[in-house]
Structure 1
Amino acid sequence: MNYKTVGISLIFLLCALSLSAQQDGTFAAYKLAPDETLVLDGRLDEPFWSAVATATAFRQQEPLEGQLASEQTAVQVAFDEKNLYIGVRLYDSEPGKIKAYQRRRDADLATDDFFAFILDTYDDQRSAFYFETNPLGMMGDGILRTGQGSTINRDWNGIWRVWISRDEKGWMAEFRIPFMTLNFNPNNDTWGINFLRTIRRKNEITLWEGYRRNQGIERPQDAGKLTGLSGIHQGLGLEAIPYAIASGSQRRLDPENPMQGQHSFNAGGELNYNINPNLKAGVTINTDFAEAEVDDRQVNLTRFPILLPERRDFFLQGANVFQFAPSSNPNPYFSRRIGLQDGRPIPIRYGGRVIGRVRDTDIGLIHVKTGEAGELPGENFTVARVLQNISSESTIGAIYTRREMEGDSLPVRETFGADISLSTSKFLGNKNFQFETFFVGHTPTFFNDSSSLMDRSVRGLRFNFPNQPWDAHVSYREFGIRYNPAVGFVPRVGFRRLQPTITYNPLIEKSNVLRELSWQYYFEYLMLMNWEPATVNHRLRFLGLRFESGDILNFSVLHNYEFLDFTFDILRDGAYLIPEGRYQNRGFSIEAISAPFRKIGGAVTWTNMGFWTGRQTSLEADIFMRPLIGLNMTLSYIHSKVDLEQGNFKTHLLRLNSSYDFSPWVSINFNVQYDNVTERLGTNSRFIWILNPGNTLFIVHNHNWQRFLDRLRPMEIQSTIKLAYTFRF
C-alpha cells in the first residue's frame, strides 16, 4: 500500500469535509465536556481541538478579490457554560517576515499582521462585538453598528484575554471571552461570526466570509453563522468597580499671581447588573475621569467651533446605541455637554444607565446629576434612545434629551427626534444601498423665546451607495436658525445644504507597482434660509495613487465661495478683521501617506488656497518613528502662513505623542503640545498598569505653562493616582 498516497488523500478528504461544512458560511461551536480541560497558552495542543469544526478557505479582499489567501488560516470555536474560546492557527511560509510592532490595548494595527473577528450575538446583521490581536498579543476591541456606513466604537473595553505563540509554521492565538462580557439572546443558539486576517508585508486582506470589496469585517450582514451555542449563562450578572483616587495640584489664575495648592482624596465606583443577557443596568457615584487622555490642541482659523471627541469611559460604554444620523451630524446628544465646561471638569455626583435590547428593540437610557462648580449650579441630564429593527437590515428610532438647571434662570430644555434608516445589501443583485431621514427639534432655550419649532429644528435625508469601485452619496439637510439642543452640539445653524459626492476606486490587478487608482468629486452647496448661497465648495481629486507598497499619493484642486454677513475676527484678538462681503478662493492640495508598517514614515499634506482677502499656505505633517517594538513616537506639526490685505501672520502647532509598551498590560505615555496663538505649553504623562483585565492602576501627571514677558511660567501642575478594581459575580 502506498501510505504517502493514502496520507495525501486523507488530507484532501479532511479539507473537502471542512469546506463542505462551511460552504454555506456555517459551522458549529464545540461544547467542552466536564472532563475536558483547556490550558490557555496559545498552543492549541489539547486533544479536543482535533474534534472541533474548522473555518478555513479564507479569500482575498485585496489585492486579488475572491482568490484564495496566499497564507491559510484555520479557526475553531469551543465553549463551556461561562466562556467562549476561539483558537486560531495562522500559517505563514516566511514566519521571519511577520510584522508586529504594537502592544498597547486598542493600538492602531495598520502597522501589523493581525487577526480580527466579529460576534453578532443577536444574529440581526446590524450590530456586533469586534475583537483583534497581533503576534505580540495586543488586545483591541469595540462595538460595531451598521447604518450609513459602519462604525466601530473602539473605546469600548470588554473584559477578555488572548494568548499568543509562534513557531516555524506561523503564529497561533487562543481567545477567552466570558459570556458576561457580551449581550446576547439566550434563546438563540446561532450567532453571526466572521474572521479577518491581514498579512502586512503583502498588504493582503483576507476574510472567511464577505470578502468582496463592498463587504468586509464591518458588515455583519455578510458574516457567516456559528451554531450550537446552548447552555450558556452569565452567572449572577453582577459587577462592582470601586475606585480610589488621590491627587495634588497647584494652579494660578494668571501669570502674575502665585501658585495655590491643594490635595484631595476621593472614592467612588460603578455597580452594574445584567437584568438579563440582553439588558444591563448600572449606577455610578462620584464619577472621576482623571485617567482620560487630554484633548488634542487645535488652532481654529474658521468661524465655527470644533467638535472634540469624548474620552471619558462612562460615556463611551454603549455610545453606539446613542448614535443618531451620524453622517448628517444633527448631534442632538453630545456627551461632552455633561460634566465639562470649556474643557474643565464639573463634578458628577451620581449617574445611572440602562443599555441593551428588549426583543428587537435597542434601548439606551442615561441620567446624570452634576454638582455645583463655582458660579455654575448643579444640573440634571437625561438621555433616552430607542431603535427598533425593521425588515432585515433597517431601523426606525427616536431620541429624547432633557436638561434641567437648578434655580430658575433657564427653563427645562428638552430635545426630541426621530430617524429612519433603510438599508439593503441586495440592490441590483449584490450592491449596497441605503436611505436615511431624520428630524430633531427642541423646546425654547430661554424664557419668552418666541421662535417657531421650525427655527429650533433640523431635518434631512441621505441616499448612500457604498460600493466598490463606485461609491456615491447625496444628502440634503436644513438647520433652523435657532437650533441649539441643550445636550447636543451644533457648529453652524441657519442653512440649507445639498452635498453629493462620487468616488471611483478601481484596482489595478496586473501591476507590480500600483494597487489602486482613485478619483473623487465632492460638491457642497450651502444656502442661508432665504436660499442665498453662503458656502460653496468644489473639491476634485483628479488623481489618487495607492501603491503595492501601501504608500498613497493624492492630488486635488479646490474652489471655495463664502458669503460673510458679519465682521470676522480670525484670531479672536482684534488683530485681523475680515469685512462683510463675498469671497472666491481657489487652490490645490497634495497629500502623501507612507505605508504604516514602516519603522519611519507618516503623512504630509500641503495646501495652497485663497483665504478671504489673501492667501493661506498650510502644511500638516504627522511623522511616526518605531525604532523598537513597543516604542511609538509621533511628531505632529500644523503650520499656516496667512497673507491678507489686513496683514500677515503665521501659526504653529506642535504635538509629540510618545509611548513605550512593556507588554499589553504595562505602558508609559508622554504627550507634549504647544501653539503660538495661545502661547501655552502642556505635557501629559500617564503610567498604566493593567493588573488583570478590569483591574487597572493609573498614575497621571499634567504640567502646563503660559508664555508671559518672553518666558514660560507654570500655570498648572497636577498629579493623580487612581486604582480601579473589578469584581464579578
Structure 2
Amino acid sequence: MTDRLTCRIGIASIVASIAMTPAVSAQEPQTLAVAPFTNISAEPSHNWIGVGIAETVSTELRDADGIDVLSRAVVDGAVASLGYAGPEASAERVLLEVVRELGADYVLAGAFQQLGDRLRLTARLIDVQSEAAAEAFKVDGRQDDLFELQDRLTREVRGAVRRMLGRDGSARIASDGAETRESNGNGNGESDVPPQTGNGNGAGLYSRYGEDGPNGGPNAPTSAGPRSLSPGMVPGLVTADAGGELLLGGPPAAPAAQAGPAAGFAIGGGRRSVQAQRTNEPPTIDGRLDDAVWRDAVLITDFTQTNPVEGAPATERTEVRIAYDADHLYFAFYAHYTDPTQMRANRVDRDQFWRDDWIAVMFDPFLDQQRAYRFSVNAYGIQGDAIIRGGRSMRGPPGGGGDWSWDALFETGGAVVRDGWTAEMAIPFKSLRYPSRGAGEHRWGFQITRTLQTKDETLVWAPMTRAVAGVLTQMGTLGGLRGLSVSRNLEFLPTATAIQLGRLTDTGYAEGDTQPDFGFNMKYGVTSNLTADFTLNPDFSQIEADRPQIETNQRYALFFPELRPFFLEGQEIFRTPGRTNLVHTKTIVDPQIGAKLTGKTGNTTLGVLVANDAAPGKFDDPGEYGFGETANFVIGRARYDLYSQSYIGAIMTDREFLDSYSRVAGVDGRFRLGQTHRAQFLAVTSSHRDLDGNSLSGPMFNAELRRDSRNLSYSVDFNSIDPDFRTDAGFVRRVDMQQLDADVEYEWWPESWLISWGPQFRYRRNVDHAGVLQDEDYRADISARFARNIFFRADAQREMERFQGIDFHKTRFSLRNGVNTSRRFSLFYGIDWGEQIRFVENPFLGRMFDYNVGLTVLPTSRLNTRFDLDTARFSDMHTGELVFDVKILRAFTTYQFTDRLLVRNILEHNTGNGKVGINLLFTYRVNAGTAFYIGYDDRLQEGIYLDRERFYNRDLQRQQRAFFTKLQYLFRY
C-alpha cells in the first residue's frame, strides 16, 4: 500500500474509533466487519440482494453477545476514500488492509448465486491478522425463502464466532454503546430476542426497500441505492476498475441533502444500475445471438409492468445483453412468449411499427432529465427512434410517445424464433450527443422497455410508478462506459433530384421539361455534444406531404407540422412553454441556404438557426416590388439547466424582408416542484413592421402550474397575448386574449378487465384586453381504458363564444372509442355533435355533426393499409337546410418487398373542393441517410371547382402531374 492509502485509512480509523466507543467491556472486543455479498449469477440487476443480506447479517450479529460489528457506513466510507492504484494487489488483500486499519479482527465475505428458483448463499469468516479462512458456510434453498436462508446463515456465523470467542476466553462484549445481554445458555449464542429483520434502521433485506423489495411498495427507494457489481468482483470484496478506482458492492455515501424544490428526486438516486462490459469482438448485427460477445456480456432479465398492472412481474421473459467498444453500444434482445401466436410483428417502414411488439432502449447521456434518446426494434429488425422531452408525464406508456420525426443512423437485425423473436442493435456513439469525459467513466440515464400489444402490456427494467410525474426521472443508470471515441462526427449528404412537371394553363394542360437539381448537406460534430449543420439548396419535394384537413368553417388558421429533415433535428431545443409556437419553421417556405448549431455545453443547451427564404420574392411579374428578393431568418435559443427537469431559458427570433421585420425576444423557465408538480412560464415581447411601414409591438405571457399523479391530476394555465403581438417566425392562432384554463382529473386503477377510469372537469374563460368576455366554457368528460387495447371517452360541453360582436351559447357532445385487439386490424372513431357557429360575415347558429373513422388493416406482415374518413356536416338549426357536407377520404397503403425496398401509395378525395390526389412512391432505403426514391404525383379536381365558365360539370380535370426521382447518399467519417 502507498503512503497515501495508509494516511487515508488512518483518518478513517480515527472516525471509526469515535463512532464506536463501547459502554462496557470486560476485555478488548473481538470486532467483525461484514462486506456486501456479491452477485455471481448472470443477472446484475439483483445486486441489491447482496447488500440486503449483508445488512441483515450485520444487524443480527450486532445483537449477539461478544461481537462488536463495524458499521457498514464506516467500512464503506474508508474504502471510498482510497486512491487505490496497485494492480499487483488483489481486491481481497485491499479489503483486509482496510478492515485491519479500522481495528477489525475478522471479516465476513460472501456471495449469492441464483439458478431458476434456487438460491445459494456462501460466506467465509476470515481472520484479518493471519488472512486465513477460519470458517466457511453454505446455505441452499428456494428464492422465496430468502428470509429463512438469511436467518440460517446468521445462526451459523454467530455460532462460529462464539466458538472462536470461547477459545480466546472472551467474556461479554458490548456493541455500539448498547447494554450487554447474557448468553441464553443454549450453546449457540442465540439471544431469546427474535431476529430483527426489519427494525426501521435499514436492517433486514427488505426494510431498506420497503416490504415489496426495491421495485415497489410505499417505501420504494428515493435516495442513493446500491452500486452494481461487475462479474469479476471477488465475492463480498472490493475491486479496482480500469481506472484504478476502488469499487465496493455496497451503497455509496448518501448525497448531501438537497434543499428547496429539488429535494426528493436526486438524479439516479435509488435507481437500478448496470455496468456495460467492453468487448474486442463486436457482433455481426443479423438478429441471431450466436456471437461470442454475448456469452460474456451483462445479462438483464428482471422486468416489471407499468401497464396494465403497475409493479406486477412481467408475464413473459425478456433477456437483454449489453456490450460496447470505443465506437458503438451493442444490444442483444430475446423476447420470449409462452404462446408465440400472440406475437405481433410486421414488415413496415421505419418508425411505423407502433402496432407491433417491440423493445426500446432509452438514454439520457447528460443525466439531466431534460432529454433522452430512444432506439427501438421489432421482430423483423425494423427501426424506430425518437426524442423524449423531460416534461413528459407517465400518462402514456414509457416506451411510446416522443418526437418520432428524429432519425438517427444505427444498425439493427431481427429474427423470428420458435418461442418468440431475437434482435441485435448497434448504436454508434456518433449518433448521440454526450458530455466529454476524457478517460473517465460515463454514467447515463438508462431504461429498457418492452411492449406486448396483444396483452396491452408494457414492461420496464427500471421500475416506474404513476405516483411520480415524469418518465426520465425514473430511469435507471448505465455505467462502465470508458474510452469512448473522441473522433468528431463529420457527415456529407449530397442529393440529386429530377422532376418533370405538367400544369393546367389557360390554353389547356401542358407538360414541362425535366428539371434536374442538386443539393448538399453537411453535419460536423464540433464536440461530442455540439453539432453544426449546413444545407445548400435543400430539396423537400414530393417525399412528404401534409395530411389534408377540413378547412371549411374554420375560424382560425390550421396548423401543419414540420416534416422536412433539416428542420426536424434538434427542434425540441427551440420549443417553449405554453400553447403558442414561437418557432414554426414551416414559415421558411423555400430555403436556399441554411445553417444550424445545436447541442449542449456544460449545463447550457444552445440552438441557433439561420436560413433564407426565396418564397416572398417569387412573382410572375418581374416588376413586382421585391421580385427575386429573399427573406432572412435568425433564431436563437439558450437554456440553462438548474436541476431535475428544471431550467431557465431565453429565446430570440427575427425575420426580415426588404424594409419589413418581425422580432420576438423573451425568457422562459420550467421548475419541477417535488415528485408530482411542475411550474413553467414564458414572457416575450414582439416588434413588427410590415412592408407599408406600419409598426406594432406587444407582449405575450404564459404561466402554468400542473400536478401529474396516479390518481389526482390538475392544472391551471394563464395565457395573455397583446392585440399588437405579431410573429412571422412562429404560429399564433389568436391575439388579444387573456385566457384562464383549469382542469382537474381523478383516475381509479382497478387494473383488471377495466384497467382505469375516471372523470375530468375543465373550465375556460377568456376576456380581451378591453375587458369584454370572449369565451367561457364548462366541460365534463369520463374516460375508461379496458384490457386488450380498448378505450372509451365521452364528454359534454356548454360554451359561450363571441363572434362578430354576438354572444353565441352552444351545447356540444362527443364520443371517442378505439379498439386494437386484433393482430390484423384496428379501429378508431370519434363523433362530435351539437350547436356551432357558421363563421361568415353574417354569422348564425347551426347544428353540426362531425365524425372521423380510422381503420387499419394488415392482411399480411408486409401489407399495411390505413383508411381515414373525416367528415363535417352543418345545417341551419331554424330551417333545417344543409349548409355544407364535407368528407375527406384518405387511403395510405405500404407494401414492404424487402427490409430496404417498399412502395407507398396515398389516395385522397376531398368532397369540399372536389380534389383528388394520387401519390405513388418507391423507396430503396439503406439507412436513415442513404436512400433512392422514384415517385409519381397526380392532382385532379372537379371542373366546377376550377372554373365554372370553362367546365360545366364535375368531371375530373388534371391540375398538375409530376414524375420525380431523388438520390441521397450519406458519407460519415
In the superposition, the TM-score normalised over structure 1's length comes to 0.89
Note if contact 1:460-1:477 (Cα within 8 Å) is conserved in structure 2: yes
Residues 8 and 184 of structure 1: CA distance in aligned 2, closer, same or farther (over 3 Å): closer
Q: Specify the alignment match of 1:593 in structure 2.
A: 818
Alignment partner of 1:278 is 2:512: no
Residue number in structure 2 paired with 1:297 = 548
Deviation at 1:203, TM superposition (A): 1.1
Residue type of the partner of 1:172? Answer: T
Paired residue for 1:459, among 692, 696, 701? 701
Retained in 2: the 8 A contact 1:699–1:720? yes
Considering Cα pairs closer than 8 Å and 6+ residues apart, tell me whether 1 or 2 has the greater RCO: 1
Aligned to 2:789: 550
Cα separation, 2, equivalents of 1:167 and 1:89: 9
**Aligned positions of 1:221-300 closer than 5 A:** 221-233=473-485, 235-253=487-505, 257-300=508-551
Deviations 1:88-119 (A, max 9, x none): 2222222232111352101151x221111111
Structure 1 partner of 2:431? 181
1:615 is aligned to: 847
Cα distance between partner residues in 2 of 1:253 and 1:234: 58
Displacement, 1:10? 9.4
**Over residues 178-209 of structure 1, what are the superposed CA-to-partner deviations in whole Å (9 max), with x where a residue is unaligned?**
11111111215111110111122211111111
The whole-number CA distance in structure 2 between the counterparts of 1:643 and 1:376 is 46
Shift of 1:281: 0.8
Deviations 1:239-277 (A, max 9, x none): 1111111110001256x6433523210111111111110
**What corresponds to 2:857 in structure 1?**
625
CA 1:631–1:148: 2 relative to 1, 3 Å = closer
Which amino acid is the alignment partner of residue 444 of structure 2?
A: W
* Partner residue, 2:83: none
Runs of at least 4 residues off by over 3 Å: 6-17, 19-24, 148-151, 447-451
- Superposed CA deviations along residues 368-404 of structure 1, whole A, max 9, x for unmatched, are 1233422463111111111110123201111111112
What is the distance in 2 between the residues matched to 1:274 and 1:525?
48
The range that moved more, 149-158 or 671-680, is: 149-158
Q: How far apart in 1 are the matches of 2:413 and 2:309?
A: 31
Residue 896 (structure 2) pairs with residue 661 (structure 1): yes
Choose the corresponding residue for 1:198, options 448, 451, 465. Answer: 451
Residues 640-680 of structure 1, C-alpha deviations (whole Å, 9 max, x = no match): 22111584221222111111122442221111222222221
Q: Displacement of 1:725 after TM fit?
A: 0.4
1:436-477 residue CA offsets vs partner (Å, 9 max, x unmatched): 0111211123365454x4xx2210100111222222211001
Q: Which residue does 1:392 correspond to in 2?
A: 644
- 1:662 and 1:433 map into 2 onto residues whose CA distance is 48
Q: Return the letter of the residue paired with 1:224.
A: G
**Aligned equivalent of 1:122:** 366
Q: CA deviation at 1:587?
A: 2.5
Q: Provide the C-alpha distance between the structure 1 equivalents of 2:761 and 2:611, rounded to a whole number of angstroms.
A: 44
Question: Which of 268, 279, 286 matches 1:32?
Answer: 279
Give CA deviations for 1:129-173 in whole Å, capped at 9, x if unaligned. Answer: 111111121110011221365972211110001111232342222
Deviations 1:348-381 (A, max 9, x none): 2211111111111111111112334224631111
Instruction: For 1:169 and 1:635, locate their aligned partners in 2 and report how far apart those are by CA, in whole Å.
Output: 33
Q: Take 1:7 and 1:496, find their aligned partners in 2: how far apart are those partners?
A: 62
Match of 1:526 among 766, 774, 780: 766
Partner amino acid for 1:175?
M
The answer on 1:47 being equivalent to 2:292 is yes
Given the superposition, is the C-alpha separation of residues 32 and 653 from structure 1 closer, same or farther in structure 2, using an over 3 Å criterion? same
Distance 1:335 1:214, change over 3 A: farther
- 1:572 alignment counterpart: none
1:208 to 461, 482, 487: 461
Q: Map 1:3-82 onto structure 2 (within 5 A).
A: 8=115, 12=119, 21=228, 24-33=271-280, 36-82=281-327
The residue type equivalent to 1:608 in the other structure is W
Matched, 1:420 2:669: yes
Is the 2:283–2:292 Cα contact (8 Å) retained in structure 1? Answer: no
Following superposition, the deviation at residue 589 of structure 1 comes to: 1.7
TM-aligned CA deviation for residue 43 of structure 1: 2.5
Deviates further, 643-652 or 197-206: 643-652
Q: Report if aligned partners of 1:104, 1:663 keep a CA contact under 8 Å in 2.
A: no
- Find the counterpart in structure 2 of residue 370 from structure 1: 613
What's the counterpart of residue 648 of structure 1? 882
- Supply the distance in 2 between the matched residues of 1:481 and 1:7 (Cα, whole angstroms): 69
Residue in structure 2 matching 1:312, options 550, 560, 564:
564
SS at structure 1 position matched to 2:430 = helix
Q: How does 1:429-508 map to 2 (within 5 A)?
A: 431-446=675-690, 448-449=693-694, 451=696, 453=697, 456-508=698-750
Q: In structure 2, what residue type is equivalent to 1:91?
A: H
**TM-score where L is the length of structure 2:** 0.67
Letter in 2 for 1:332: L
Q: Percent identity?
A: 23
Q: CA deviation at 1:174?
A: 1.1
Alpha-carbon distance between aligned partners in 2 of 1:588 and 1:305, rounded to the nearest angstrom = 23
Q: Deviations over 1:272-321 (max 9, x none)?
A: 11111011112111111125321111223221001101111111011111
Give 5+ residue unaligned stretches, structure 2: 1-112, 122-142, 147-204, 206-213, 215-225, 230-269, 395-400, 620-626, 838-844, 944-951
Gapped regions of structure 1 (runs ≥ 5): 1-5, 341-345, 566-579
Q: Secondary structure at the match of 1:190?
A: strand
Please state if 1:401 is matched with 2:653.
yes
Q: Give the 3-state SS of the residue equivalent to 1:60 in structure 2.
A: strand
1:715 maps onto 2:959 in alignment: yes
| 1:531-574 superposed Cα distances (whole Å, 9 cap, x missing partner) | 32212222211x32322121122222121211112xxxxxxxxx
SS for the counterpart of 2:390 is strand
Question: Deviation string for 1:519-541 (max 9, x for gaps)?
Answer: 21122212222232212222211
Aligned to 2:80: none
Within 5 Å, give how 1:686-705 maps onto structure 2.
686-705=921-940
Partners of 1:353 and 1:82 lie apart in 2 by 25
**Deviating more after overlay: 367-376 vs 627-636:** 367-376
Letter in 1 for 2:313: L
Residues 436/9 of structure 1: CA separation in 2 closer, same or farther (3 Å cut): closer
User: Which structure has the larger Rg over C-alpha atoms?
Assistant: 2
Q: Contact 1:330 / 1:458 at 8 angstroms: preserved in 2? A: no
C-alpha distance in structure 2 between counterparts of 1:7 and 1:546, whole Å: 38
Instruction: Classify 1:228/1:677 alpha carbon distance in 2 versus 1 (closer, same or farther; 3 Å).
Output: same
Change (3 A) 1:214 1:690: farther
Contact 1:82 1:235 (8 Å CA) reproduced: no
Distance 1:9 1:548, change over 3 A: closer
Shift of 1:331: 1.5
Residue 215 of structure 1: how far off its partner (Å): 5.6
**Alpha carbons of structure 1 residues 168 and 189: separation in structure 2 relative to 1, 3 Å:** same
- Residue identity matched to 1:361: T
1:329 equivalent to 2:564? Answer no
* Paired amino acid for 1:553: F
Q: Distance in 1 between matches of 2:356 and 2:860?
A: 14
Change (3 A) 1:597 1:726: farther
Of Structure 1 and Structure 2, the greater helix share is in 2
* Cα distance between partner residues in 1 of 2:886 and 2:465: 44
Matches of 2:114 and 2:869, distance apart in 1: 61
Contact 1:139 1:664 (C-alpha < 8 Å) held by counterparts: no
CA apart distance, 1:25:
0.6
Equivalences, count: 682
SS of the residue corresponding to residue 272 of structure 1 reads: strand
